[in-house]
């Protein structure tokens, strides 16, 4: 992998990740852009103890542009985009309309491929491996910023999810705090460790799932399963067999095998609802240990946390979506219409031949 860092016309960082070491990236951003001005602010909720990012500048972000005006495609002739070069393998740049910025963190866009009409599932294993390298490198780099405590790599896919750009891409949020979802995991981890005299909760969960009927696929280095208490109609958790706290901890075997496993999961997701159905909308989310102090979680250290990926769709059946209504949005109590065992069976049935 070759990494080339440059700057866009408004001063934002752009990084190219290339498979070939002899690739030269010298294109200059020719757009007449003013310096980016953001109004991001993190506010704490005194009752819930969580945080809300206030980012009014995002109201003006680009919304469903036609394909020939896509800002994530390479620049070509007089059509200038966020990517000045005429081609790229993987590109990462600071979001022009970030939810978090400055002392409130950082937001980046990850372009998986220059092919506008592709999806992550269409990538080759080599391309998917390069994306994994980019996620890992950005996790390492962002963890060193003084304002960053946790790094979150994710992909929103599909208009139903709220995606405003059709080009295959994901995002990276670098938070200045430990996110509420992770904090809940850490509290459960601490409580279980104390109650069992030191047993790791993530290890116990993985052992339980391996012994049950919800495993979707397993390889030498990875296990994918529908969790016992799945929140979403079709939800898969992907764990490395060897517990590590973040992407940087993956060994060579796990890194080599990941593209094959992940691409297979994504392709199965597109087959859940049968032939002729539109692509399955999904969210794919990497959960990594925070880089900040864990003192508030008694007895827990970073190495206790287990890196894992959660992949889920809001589509519950053909033509119908799972909406977060009263119980889910008002009380955070999910109601799942699809039994996890049924979802796991379906995901096994649609395996590649």
What are 177's two structure tokens? 């705090």
Measured in degrees and rounded to the nearest 5, phi and psi for residue 170 equal -130, -170
Q: Hey, how many other C-beta atoms are within 10 angstroms of the C-beta on 73?
A: 19
Instruction: Give exposure, 104-113, as e/b (b: 16+ Cβ within 10 Å).
Output: bbbbbbbbbb
Q: Which residues pair with 51 in a beta bridge?
A: 44
Please state, in angstroms and rounded to a whole number, the distance separating the CA atoms of residues 86 and 100: 29
The helix (run of H) or strand (run of E) holding residue 254 is helix 252-269
Cα maximum dimension of the chain: 65
- The encoded tokens of residue 135 equal 């996620």
Asked about 169 being catalytic, the answer comes back as yes
Among residues 169, 192, 237, 287, the one annotated as catalytic is 169
Let me know if 286 is exposed, middle or buried by CB neighbors in 10 A (0-12, 13-18, 19+).
buried
283, 235 contact by CB (below 8 A): no
Angle 180-195/201-210 helices, nearest 10 degrees? 90
C-alpha distances in Å from residue 340, one per residue of 42, 235, 262, 327: 36, 8, 20, 19
Strand 169-175 with 320-321, pairing: unpaired
95 and 111 Cβ atoms separated by less than 8 Å: no
Tell me which residues are annotated as active site.
169
């Amino acid at each position: 992998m070759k990494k080339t860092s440059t700057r866009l016309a408004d001063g934002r960082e752009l990084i190219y990740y290339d498979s070939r070491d002899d690739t030269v990236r010298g294109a200059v951003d020719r757009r007449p852009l003013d310096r980016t001005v953001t109004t991001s602010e993190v506010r704490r909720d005194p009752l819930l103890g969580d945080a809300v990012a206030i980012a009014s500048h995002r109201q003006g972000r680009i919304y469903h542009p036609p394909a020939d005006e896509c800002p994530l495609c390479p620049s070509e002739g007089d059509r200038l985009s966020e990517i000045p070069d005429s081609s790229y393998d993987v590109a990462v740049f600071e979001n022009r309309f970030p939810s978090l910025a400055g002392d409130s963190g950082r937001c980046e866009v990850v372009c998986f491929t220059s092919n506008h009409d592709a999806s992550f599932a269409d990538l080759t294993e080599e391309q998917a491996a390069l994306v994994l390298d980019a996620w890992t490198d950005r996790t390492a780099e962002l963890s060193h910023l003084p304002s960053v405590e946790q790094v979150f790599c994710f992909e929103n896919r599909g208009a139903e999810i709220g995606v405003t750009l059709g080009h295959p891409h994901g995002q990276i949020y670098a938070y200045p705090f430990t996110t509420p979802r992770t904090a809940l995991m850490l509290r459960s981890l601490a409580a279980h460790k104390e109650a069992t005299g030191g047993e790791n909760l993530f290890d116990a969960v993985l052992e339980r799932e391996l012994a049950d009927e919800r495993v979707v696929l397993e390889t030498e280095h990875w296990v994918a399963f529908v969790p016992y208490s799945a929140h979403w109609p079709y939800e898969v958790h992907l764990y490395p067999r060897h517990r590590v706290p973040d992407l940087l901890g993956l060994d060579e075997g796990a890194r080599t095998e990941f593209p094959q496993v992940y691409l297979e999961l994504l392709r199965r997701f597109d087959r859940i609802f049968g032939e002729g159905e539109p692509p399955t909308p999904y969210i794919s989310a990497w959960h990594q240990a925070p880089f900040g102090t864990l003192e508030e979680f008694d007895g827990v250290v970073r190495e206790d946390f287990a890196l894992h990926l959660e992949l889920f769709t809001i589509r519950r059946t053909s033509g119908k979506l799972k909406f977060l209504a009263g119980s889910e949005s008002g009380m955070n109590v999910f109601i799942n219409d699809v039994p996890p065992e049924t979802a796991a069976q379906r995901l096994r049935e649609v395996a590649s031949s």
